[in-house]
A and B are shown apart, each in its own frame.
Chain A
Amino acid sequence: MSEPLLRVEHLKKYFPLRGGLKKNAAFVRAVDDVSFTIRPGETLGLVGESGSGKTTLAQMILGLLPPTEGTITLDGADIWDKAHRAQFHKSIGAVFQDPASSLNPRTTVYRSLERPLELNGYSKGDARDLIYETAEKVNLGRELLERFPYELSGGQQQRVSIARAIMLRPKLLVLDEPTSALDVSVQAQTLNELLELQQKFGLAYLFITHNLSVVRYMSDRICVLYGGKIMELGETEAVYDHYVHPYTLSLLSSVPPLHPSQRNRKKYLLTGDMPSLIGELKGCRFASRCPFAQDSCREAEPECKDMGGEHLAACAFAGELDFQKD
């Protein structure tokens, strides 16, 4: 096992709700004690529904939001360590969901790509060479570089964002729903290109999405998030085929089928809404909607159990439940 590239330890983000200055203010526990690692060149898929804390987590890893507690280290250095800040900016890249707002509408594509290089000490000439080289790598025609973002299609805009993110040769790319706004055919192209780039440059990806098929295609390992906590984490095959957490079960059985013949499959539909993450929380976050919940689940928070092969599950009854897999 190689040394992890990114190490997230006991990360918490509590947003103050009211009376932000007071001592006893209420908090939204958006991310609550999350730990995981990403190895060089690997893709960790982060799945969760809205309110699971996945975007907050991404913002913290990108250094856009300071954590309430916990540490994030990239390549051995704390990302908030001022001495390594310049290196941090070069080691990480980001691609966001909305291709249209990912690019400055007031400048040409070329200028959008040139600015990060300028900031990191490239000369005009070097920048030009690198921009042309990178544009080629992401299949972006040179003639598109002098255009403005609104003159490009969504897929092309997203390619520019990817080019910008990989230009400084980062080690980790945070992809926050990069294809959710794209059509299926464009999505396929973008995903393939991302895989190609990963192979070529040995990039590690943190791939955040709510789309379970996309995450399965892209990831080496998958982390399932619910209510700001990790429910299950493990190799893609382990999580997809040998899941042990009831939330993963509900999530996977909610995915629409691939063929009409699977219409009448057994579904574990969730009822009710996600619980509020405000104030003191007791027990398992998923207990209120879990079809297998026992009284004890509502009392004590489950520990993260290792099911073998670094397959973790935060369920008191992990491995003991009968999911009637078919």
Chain B
Amino acid sequence: MEEKILQVKELSVSFSGGVQAVSKVSFDLNRGETFALVGESGCGKSTTARAIMRLIRAPGRITGGEVYFEGKELLGLSEKEMTAVRGKNIGMIFQNPLDSLNPVYTSGSQVAEGLIVDKMEKGEAWALVEETFRDVKIPDAEKRVKSYPHEISGGMRQRVMIGMMLCRHPKLLIADEPTTALDVTIQAGIIELMNDLRRKYDTAVLMITHDFGIVADMADRVGVMYAGEIVELGDVFTIFDHPLHPYTRLLMKALPVITKKEGRLETIPGTVPDLSKPIQGCRFADRCPDACDACRQYSPAMVEAEPGHLCACHRVKGGEGNE
């Protein structure tokens, strides 16, 4: 019934010096679903997103795995075929909307360009651009299509980017920290907009973020990444209500949701392991309060702890809860 629109299978990416930025990451996205990849800096979440779009620049390279978009394998496509997929079928928005827009063209013409590539007539394209600007709730749409990127605020630029992507009705939108550079009040507007539009156009969203609040606000399912691997994956309510992986649990308790009178935040001792060296056992073992001998010996496999809830931890057994 649920159709899988994106399937990522054992995707691996390395950078120079043998750094395994992403190792054997697997997840699926259903049509119209929002999937969030959440993790701290250096965990490989952005690299995963770029690898799906085949935007990894040398010396980085995809060293293994498969990516299926609507059943079509992407990693084997020629650069020309991939260019046709980007924008038309899969849209992408980035953290810094000023870098993503060309400063010498008006924002409207940059949105129109994509439509003209799709063989739309000029007049028709411009009409659609104006409609899109209204769609993404940019005030004074008729005027704003003629503004240059530097003339509009960061929040508006991100709206232009979202409009630019969505007006071509892609089936998948990859959003890489789209609100990180924005103020909270602006962020709230963008999140609301993305939630509205994905329902309206039935677009699947792959959301890359470090912020659990955004996950709570947008995601249907979540993948938690640590040191290049997905360590836990499941429905957003399940992940928030009973996270299984020690990393997920500690990370949630590290969020400042209390006042200082109420107690202290949980901290995670140690640092992320050096990914340029081979790691024996679980990558989180050195920082894990529950680590046992097995954790330092063998790398844990992803097991389905309950239907739809996967976790890579020796302490978590398939089919039952923690301990």
- Direct chain A–B contact by Cβ atoms under 8 Å: yes
- CB–CB B237/A184 < 8 A: no
> Which of A153, A187, A214, A254 gathers most chain B CB within 10 Å?
A254
Number of B residues whose C-beta is below 8 Å from A? Answer: 43
CB distance from A8 to the nearest CB of B (A): 23
Number of A residues whose C-beta is below 8 Å from B? Answer: 42
B225-260 CB mask vs A (1 if < 8 Å, else 0) is 000000000001100100000000011001111111
- CB–CB A210/B216 < 8 A: no
Given contacts A184-B251, A188-B267, A257-B217, contact A273 B156 (CB under 8 A): yes
Q: Is A189 an interface residue (CB 8 A)?
A: yes
Chain B neighbourhood of A254, CB < 8 A: 184-185, 187-188
Dominant SS among interface residues on chain A: helix
Within the complex, which residue of A187, A236, A256 is in contact with B213, where a contact is CB–CB below 8 Å? A256
Report Cα–Cα, A192/B268, bound state, in Å.
Answer: 12
Which residues does A use to contact B, with CB under 8 Å? 49-50, 153, 155, 183-185, 187-189, 191-192, 195, 210-214, 216-218, 236-237, 250-251, 253-263, 267, 269-273
* Minimal Cβ-Cβ distance residue in A for B154: A50
> Which of B184, B210, B250 gathers most chain A CB within 10 Å?
B184
Given contacts A192-B265, A260-B216, contact A185 B192 (CB under 8 A): no
- CB–CB B254/A260 < 8 A: no
- CB–CB A269/B189 < 8 A: yes
* Minimal Cβ-Cβ distance residue in A for B153: A273
Which residues does B use to contact A, with CB under 8 Å? 40-41, 137, 139, 153, 155-156, 183-189, 191-192, 210-217, 219, 236-237, 240, 250-251, 254-260, 264-268, 271
- CB–CB B217/A216 < 8 A: no
Nearest 9 pairs between A and B by C-beta? A256-B213, A254-B188, A188-B254, A49-B183, A217-B256, A183-B40, A188-B265, A185-B268, A189-B267
Chain A neighbourhood of B236, CB < 8 A: 260
CB distance from A177 to the nearest CB of B (A): 13
- CB–CB B254/A185 < 8 A: yes
- CB–CB B258/A255 < 8 A: no
Given contacts A191-B256, A257-B217, A260-B237, contact A271 B41 (CB under 8 A): no
Report Cα–Cα, A317/B259, bound state, in Å.
Answer: 29
Report Cα–Cα, A261/B212, bound state, in Å.
Answer: 13
Within the complex, which residue of A155, A183, A217, A269 is in contact with B192, where a contact is CB–CB below 8 Å? A269
Chain A neighbourhood of B41, CB < 8 A: 183
- CB–CB A184/B255 < 8 A: yes
Chain A neighbourhood of B210, CB < 8 A: 183-184
Given contacts A210-B184, A270-B189, contact A191 B216 (CB under 8 A): no
- CB–CB A269/B250 < 8 A: no
Q: What are 9 A-B contacts with C-beta separation under 8 Å?
A: A184-B251, A185-B251, A192-B264, A214-B256, A218-B260, A256-B216, A260-B219, A270-B189, A273-B155
* Minimal Cβ-Cβ distance residue in B for A256: B213
Given contacts A195-B260, A218-B260, A272-B139, contact A49 B184 (CB under 8 A): yes
Chain A neighbourhood of B185, CB < 8 A: 49, 250-251, 254, 269-270
Report Cα–Cα, A50/B180, bound state, in Å.
Answer: 13
